[in-house]
Structure 1
């Protein structure tokens, strides 16, 4: 049985891919590297926000109020 991709694997790949794309666009096109990296970083931020707020790592908002035993 092989590894199965999870949603957060795709979120991490999307963040990494957008930043790499920004570097590549900045290096190999007429767009300034800083402009390209900032623009593609905005895409990375949108992917990250979707992973945190739209499809967050909790089942219900009430899960956020539970105490963490490992920290007590």
Structure 2
């Protein structure tokens, strides 16, 4: 059975925000460009949270590990 991970939710939230922007642009008096830009900023904030607040590392020491496959 598959369990949802944090980054699955990040991807879902990014896609949902952009689809919401298209919907708002099509179904309301808000211009399409304003709706896309504003929900794009929301998507950027979600991506920033996924990268910098809850980054894909367990410990800051993981950043100093060498990559053996490239040597």
The two structures have a TM-score, normalised by structure 1, of 0.92
Greater Cα offset, 43-52 or 59-68: 59-68
Tell me the SS of whatever aligns to 1:58: coil
Distance 2:69 2:29 in 1: 51
Correspondences of 1:1-72 after superposition (within 5 Å): 2-72=1-71
The Cα of 1:70 is off from its aligned counterpart by: 2.1
Q: For residues 1-59 of structure 1, give each alpha carbon's deviation from its aligned partner in whole angstroms, at most 9, with x where no partner exists.
A: x1100000000000000011001101110000000000000110111011111111001
Q: Which runs of 5+ in 1 are unaligned?
A: none
Aligned length: 71
Tell me the SS of whatever aligns to 1:22: helix
Distance 1:29 1:70 in 2: 52
